[in-house]
Structure 1
Amino acid sequence: MWPYVENTLGTLLRSQRGRDEKLFRKGPAFANLPDPSLSVTSPECGPSDSPMSSQHGKDGGNQFPTISWELPKSDTEVKEYVLIVEDPDAPLPSPIAHGVYYAIPASTRSVEASSLEAVGSNEVKGGFKFGQNRMGNVYGGPRPVLGHGPHRYFYQVVALREGVDQEGFAAAKATREELARAIEGKVVAWGVWVGVFERKM
């Protein structure tokens, strides 16, 4: 019964989407860098705007799609990275945060499913930290409302000239909003890969 109710609501709310102006990369920290300069790809899914498989969905394998990136030039000085995964197409006032990751080492050039295995209260096997997402876990795969149409998932990689000051966080797991403030004045480059996912009856 519930899937039919969900599908009906999704259809009715189909025009409620596209909160792109509230994406992480649209914050004050990016005012002087409006255009992407990192090349971000997903080797297993294809170019940006490619569909993700059922294995990537929350109801499937909940598998994080491998995300890789390259700096625009070798002399760009990077101390660490931040990676934020958001869905701006949910019928809500702001994008949903599916993944919040920070203190990613400068030597890192990709994040894959195995990187996100938790090894502590807020640390993962990839050697960095995870913050608070909407689902209260390390990563929440796509699960758009039935009947709401395709949703876009923005995997935003941000290169920083200095590390994030973690002392200013209220809890061990940083929020998306805390990171947005913590990176102001530190962004040297950013890029994004977009995956598309839809649930149908």
Structure 2
Amino acid sequence: MRPIVEVTLSWLLKNRRGRDAKLFYTRPAFAKHPEQTLIVTSPDCGETDAQLGVEYTADGKGKCPQLRWEWKADKAPGEGVDVKEWLLVSEDPDAPLAMPISHGVFGGIPPSKTSVEAVDFEIQDDSKALLKGGFHYGVTRRNVPYLPPRPLMNHGPHRYFYQVVALSEPLDPKLLSAKATREQIADAIVDKVLGWGMWVGSCERKWN
């Protein structure tokens, strides 16, 4: 898209942003867990709300930020309750659309894996939607495993929410291997959420 067209669209749509009320963690599956119980950090990008460097955007290499997570003190599930799988969902609620843009839906993350890095998101077997990290990817707007940030020029900063969810039961392998949508995953995790947390990165593109 030519810069002049992007800037014009940004001006016309400047007030269409902030769909926070429609983010993944607001779905019914999280009704019993309104507060974050996981601490999610990004060793290579910094504290939450950090500005994403160009290598993490569509203008650069499009790398997914490295993420790590752990339970908050005294927030881990009780004795005898184990995490069977992790889920990771990335969204942009500041896109000028009715719903947040899905930048990544990743299910079937093994319970022993509590961090991800860029190489994990490379495709291992596209026929099974399987990635090198040993988990599956779902649907994004451009049919790629991870859609790097590319907000409209001059639309202001966009926030990218990386939400990690602990599940008490594994998701259906058939669902995961079929490139599930965010909505299908949201329905599938009802009564399976043990806790969640998120890290937020920020990105802005300017044209003067």
CA deviation after TM superposition for structure 1 residue 170, in Å: 9.7
CA deviation after TM superposition for structure 1 residue 171, in Å: 7.2
Match of 2:48? 48
Q: Is the 8 A contact 1:88 1:96 kept in 2?
A: yes
For structure 2, which runs of at least 5 residues remain unmatched after alignment?
A: none
Please say if 1:180 is aligned against 2:186: yes
Summarize the Cα distance change of 1:66–1:103 in structure 2 as closer, same or farther, 3 Å threshold. Answer: same
CA deviation after TM superposition for structure 1 residue 5, in Å: 1.7
Q: How many percent identity over aligned positions? A: 50
Which aligned segments of 4 or more residues in structure 1 are displaced greater than 4 angstroms? none
Match of 2:199? 193
CA–CA distance in structure 2, aligned partners of residues 147 and 183 of structure 1: 37
Q: How does 1:116-155 map to 2 (within 5 A)?
A: 116-121=121-126, 122-155=129-162
Match of 1:10? 10
Match of 1:90? 95
Which among 83, 107, 116 is matched to residue 102 of structure 1?
Answer: 107
Q: C-alpha deviations, 1:174-193, integer Å up to 9, x for none?
A: 11100000000000010000
Q: What's the TM-score once normalised by structure 1's chain length?
A: 0.95
Q: Is the 8 A contact 1:98 1:135 kept in 2?
A: no
CA deviation after TM superposition for structure 1 residue 6, in Å: 0.8
CA deviation after TM superposition for structure 1 residue 132, in Å: 0.8
- When structure 1 is superposed on structure 2, of 5-14 and 47-56 the one drifting more is 5-14
Please say if 1:164 is aligned against 2:171: yes
CA deviation after TM superposition for structure 1 residue 123, in Å: 0.3
Q: What's the TM-score once normalised by structure 2's chain length?
A: 0.92
Match of 2:85? 80
RMSD: 1.5
Q: Is the 8 A contact 1:156 1:191 kept in 2?
A: yes
CA–CA distance in structure 2, aligned partners of residues 4 and 134 of structure 1: 23
Q: C-alpha deviations, 1:46-72, integer Å up to 9, x for none?
A: 111110001111121101110110023
For structure 1, which runs of at least 5 residues remain unmatched after alignment?
A: none
CA–CA distance in structure 2, aligned partners of residues 171 and 70 of structure 1: 27
* Partner SS for 1:102: strand
Q: C-alpha deviations, 1:14-68, integer Å up to 9, x for none?
A: 1110001111110000011000000001111111111000111112110111011
Q: Is the 8 A contact 2:136 2:176 kept in 1?
A: no
CA deviation after TM superposition for structure 1 residue 165, in Å: 2.2
